[in-house]
Protein backbone atom coordinates (compact mmCIF):
# COMPACT_ATOMS: atom_id res chain seq x y z
CA UNK A 1 0.00 0.00 0.00
CA UNK A 2 1.31 3.49 -0.76
CA UNK A 3 2.38 5.80 2.04
CA UNK A 4 -0.25 8.14 3.45
CA UNK A 5 2.31 10.79 4.29
CA UNK A 6 6.05 11.34 4.19
CA UNK A 7 8.14 13.82 6.14
CA UNK A 8 11.85 14.51 6.08
CA UNK A 9 12.55 11.42 8.21
CA UNK A 10 9.28 9.47 8.45
CA UNK A 11 6.93 7.43 6.32
CA UNK A 12 3.38 7.03 7.65
CA UNK A 13 1.72 4.09 5.94
CA UNK A 14 -1.46 2.07 6.39
CA UNK A 15 -1.29 -0.81 8.81
CA UNK A 16 -1.63 -4.38 7.55
CA UNK A 17 -2.31 -7.69 9.30
CA UNK A 18 1.44 -8.35 9.00
CA UNK A 19 2.09 -5.58 11.55
CA UNK A 20 0.83 -7.71 14.45
CA UNK A 21 4.35 -8.60 15.61
CA UNK A 22 5.46 -4.93 15.45
CA UNK A 23 2.47 -3.97 17.58
CA UNK A 24 3.11 -6.80 20.02
CA UNK A 25 6.66 -5.59 20.62
CA UNK A 26 5.53 -1.97 21.00
CA UNK A 27 2.68 -2.79 23.38
CA UNK A 28 4.86 -5.05 25.54
CA UNK A 29 7.35 -2.37 26.51
CA UNK A 30 6.36 -1.33 30.05
CA UNK A 31 7.80 2.16 29.54
CA UNK A 32 5.80 2.71 26.34
CA UNK A 33 2.60 1.50 28.00
CA UNK A 34 3.16 3.21 31.37
CA UNK A 35 0.56 5.95 30.73
CA UNK A 36 -1.76 3.69 28.72
CA UNK A 37 -2.33 0.67 30.95
CA UNK A 38 0.27 0.96 33.69
CA UNK A 39 2.82 -1.06 31.72
CA UNK A 40 0.96 -4.36 31.62
CA UNK A 41 1.79 -6.89 28.91
CA UNK A 42 -0.45 -7.41 25.87
CA UNK A 43 -1.03 -10.73 24.12
CA UNK A 44 -0.83 -11.40 20.41
CA UNK A 45 -4.48 -12.49 20.57
CA UNK A 46 -5.45 -9.07 21.95
CA UNK A 47 -3.48 -7.34 19.21
CA UNK A 48 -5.26 -9.39 16.52
CA UNK A 49 -8.74 -9.22 18.07
CA UNK A 50 -8.81 -5.62 19.37
CA UNK A 51 -5.92 -3.47 18.18
CA UNK A 52 -5.66 -4.40 14.50
CA UNK A 53 -9.38 -3.97 13.71
CA UNK A 54 -9.23 -0.46 15.20
CA UNK A 55 -6.03 0.37 13.28
CA UNK A 56 -7.43 -1.01 9.99
CA UNK A 57 -10.79 0.79 10.20
CA UNK A 58 -11.54 3.12 7.27
CA UNK A 59 -13.33 6.32 8.25
CA UNK A 60 -15.92 7.18 5.55
CA UNK A 61 -15.53 10.95 5.95
CA UNK A 62 -11.80 10.66 5.18
CA UNK A 63 -12.04 7.72 2.80
CA UNK A 64 -9.00 6.39 4.59
CA UNK A 65 -7.81 5.20 7.96
CA UNK A 66 -7.16 7.08 11.16
CA UNK A 67 -4.04 5.22 12.35
CA UNK A 68 -0.69 5.03 10.56
CA UNK A 69 2.35 2.84 11.03
CA UNK A 70 5.42 5.05 11.40
CA UNK A 71 8.71 3.97 9.84
CA UNK A 72 12.06 5.62 9.40
CA UNK A 73 12.30 6.90 5.85
CA UNK A 74 15.83 5.55 5.51
CA UNK A 75 15.97 1.91 6.53
CA UNK A 76 12.25 1.32 7.09
CA UNK A 77 12.57 0.62 10.83
CA UNK A 78 9.15 0.41 12.51
CA UNK A 79 8.99 3.23 15.07
CA UNK A 80 5.37 2.96 16.23
CA UNK A 81 2.19 4.65 15.12
CA UNK A 82 0.29 7.91 14.81
CA UNK A 83 -3.42 8.50 15.22
CA UNK A 84 -5.28 11.18 13.29
CA UNK A 85 -8.81 9.90 13.63
CA UNK A 86 -12.13 11.68 13.16
CA UNK A 87 -14.20 11.52 16.33
CA UNK A 88 -17.31 10.88 14.21
CA UNK A 89 -17.15 8.60 11.16
CA UNK A 90 -19.46 10.93 9.22
CA UNK A 91 -17.54 14.20 9.84
CA UNK A 92 -13.88 15.15 9.45
CA UNK A 93 -14.36 18.36 11.46
CA UNK A 94 -12.82 17.15 14.73
CA UNK A 95 -9.95 14.67 14.89
CA UNK A 96 -7.98 13.14 17.70
CA UNK A 97 -4.20 13.23 17.45
CA UNK A 98 -2.19 10.51 19.13
CA UNK A 99 1.12 8.68 18.90
CA UNK A 100 2.84 5.66 20.38
CA UNK A 101 6.51 5.23 19.59
CA UNK A 102 9.20 2.76 20.64
CA UNK A 103 11.38 4.00 23.46
CA UNK A 104 14.38 4.05 21.09
CA UNK A 105 12.55 6.71 19.03
CA UNK A 106 11.89 9.01 22.00
CA UNK A 107 13.77 12.29 22.17
CA UNK A 108 14.50 12.42 18.44
CA UNK A 109 11.65 14.74 17.45
CA UNK A 110 9.77 12.02 15.56
CA UNK A 111 6.52 12.51 17.48
CA UNK A 112 6.53 16.27 16.84
CA UNK A 113 7.50 15.82 13.18
CA UNK A 114 4.74 13.30 12.54
CA UNK A 115 2.14 15.27 14.50
CA UNK A 116 2.89 18.51 12.64
CA UNK A 117 2.72 16.76 9.26
CA UNK A 118 -0.64 15.18 10.11
CA UNK A 119 -2.02 18.50 11.32
CA UNK A 120 -0.90 20.18 8.10
CA UNK A 121 -2.50 17.41 6.02
CA UNK A 122 -5.70 17.59 8.05
CA UNK A 123 -6.14 21.34 7.70
CA UNK A 124 -5.09 21.53 4.04
CA UNK A 125 -6.54 18.33 2.53
CA UNK A 126 -8.98 16.56 4.85
CA UNK A 127 -11.48 19.22 5.95
CA UNK A 128 -10.40 19.21 9.59
CA UNK A 129 -11.50 22.19 11.69
CA UNK A 130 -10.19 21.14 15.13
CA UNK A 131 -7.44 18.80 16.34
CA UNK A 132 -7.69 17.52 19.90
CA UNK A 133 -5.35 15.38 21.99
CA UNK A 134 -5.54 13.93 25.50
CA UNK A 135 -3.08 12.38 27.90
CA UNK A 136 -2.58 11.81 31.59
CA UNK A 137 -1.69 15.04 33.40
CA UNK A 138 1.59 13.47 34.59
CA UNK A 139 2.70 12.49 31.07
CA UNK A 140 5.08 15.43 30.61
CA UNK A 141 6.68 14.00 27.43
CA UNK A 142 3.41 13.68 25.57
CA UNK A 143 2.25 17.09 26.75
CA UNK A 144 5.47 18.63 25.41
CA UNK A 145 4.92 17.00 22.00
CA UNK A 146 1.39 18.44 21.88
CA UNK A 147 2.75 21.91 22.64
CA UNK A 148 5.57 21.62 20.07
CA UNK A 149 3.00 20.51 17.49
CA UNK A 150 1.06 23.73 18.10
CA UNK A 151 -1.73 22.54 20.39
CA UNK A 152 -2.72 24.56 23.44
CA UNK A 153 -3.92 23.40 26.83
CA UNK A 154 -7.72 23.46 27.14
CA UNK A 155 -8.61 21.77 30.40
CA UNK A 156 -7.89 19.19 33.08
CA UNK A 157 -10.47 16.50 33.69
CA UNK A 158 -10.95 13.17 35.41
CA UNK A 159 -12.61 10.04 34.12
CA UNK A 160 -13.51 6.79 35.78
CA UNK A 161 -11.09 4.25 34.35
CA UNK A 162 -11.80 0.53 34.78
CA UNK A 163 -8.40 0.08 36.45
CA UNK A 164 -6.50 2.93 38.05
CA UNK A 165 -2.83 3.20 37.11
CA UNK A 166 -0.03 5.13 38.76
CA UNK A 167 -0.54 8.83 38.13
CA UNK A 168 -4.20 8.55 37.16
CA UNK A 169 -5.19 10.22 40.42
CA UNK A 170 -3.92 13.47 38.87
CA UNK A 171 -6.43 13.21 36.02
CA UNK A 172 -6.07 13.90 32.33
CA UNK A 173 -5.51 16.95 30.17
CA UNK A 174 -6.94 18.03 26.84
CA UNK A 175 -5.12 20.10 24.22
CA UNK A 176 -6.44 21.49 20.93
CA UNK A 177 -5.61 23.43 17.80
CA UNK A 178 -8.22 24.95 15.51
CA UNK A 179 -7.79 25.66 11.83
CA UNK A 180 -8.13 29.41 12.52
CA UNK A 181 -5.37 29.29 15.15
CA UNK A 182 -3.13 27.26 12.84
CA UNK A 183 -3.63 29.69 9.97
CA UNK A 184 -3.06 32.70 12.24
CA UNK A 185 0.24 31.25 13.52
CA UNK A 186 1.54 30.82 9.99
CA UNK A 187 0.63 27.16 9.67
CA UNK A 188 3.63 25.01 10.61
CA UNK A 189 5.11 27.29 13.29
- The reported pTM is 0.93
| Burial class of 35 by CB neighbour count within 10 A (0 to 12, 13 to 18, 19+) | buried
d(CA 77, CA 136): 28
CA-nearest of 80, 17, 20 to 44 is 20
Task: Classify residue 25 by its DSSP letter.
Answer: H
Residue 38: what pLDDT? 87
Q: How far apart are CA 116 and CA 110, in angstroms?
A: 10
Exposure letters 63-72 (e unless 16+ CB within 10 A, then b): eebbbbbbbe
- Point out the residues of the chain with pLDDT beneath 50: none
Per-residue model confidence (pLDDT) at position 187: 64
Amino acid sequence: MPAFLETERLVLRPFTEADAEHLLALDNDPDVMRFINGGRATTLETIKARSLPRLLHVHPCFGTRGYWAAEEKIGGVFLGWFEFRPLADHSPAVVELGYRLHKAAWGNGYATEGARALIHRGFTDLGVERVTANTMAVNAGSRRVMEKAGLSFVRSFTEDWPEAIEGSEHGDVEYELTRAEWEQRGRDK
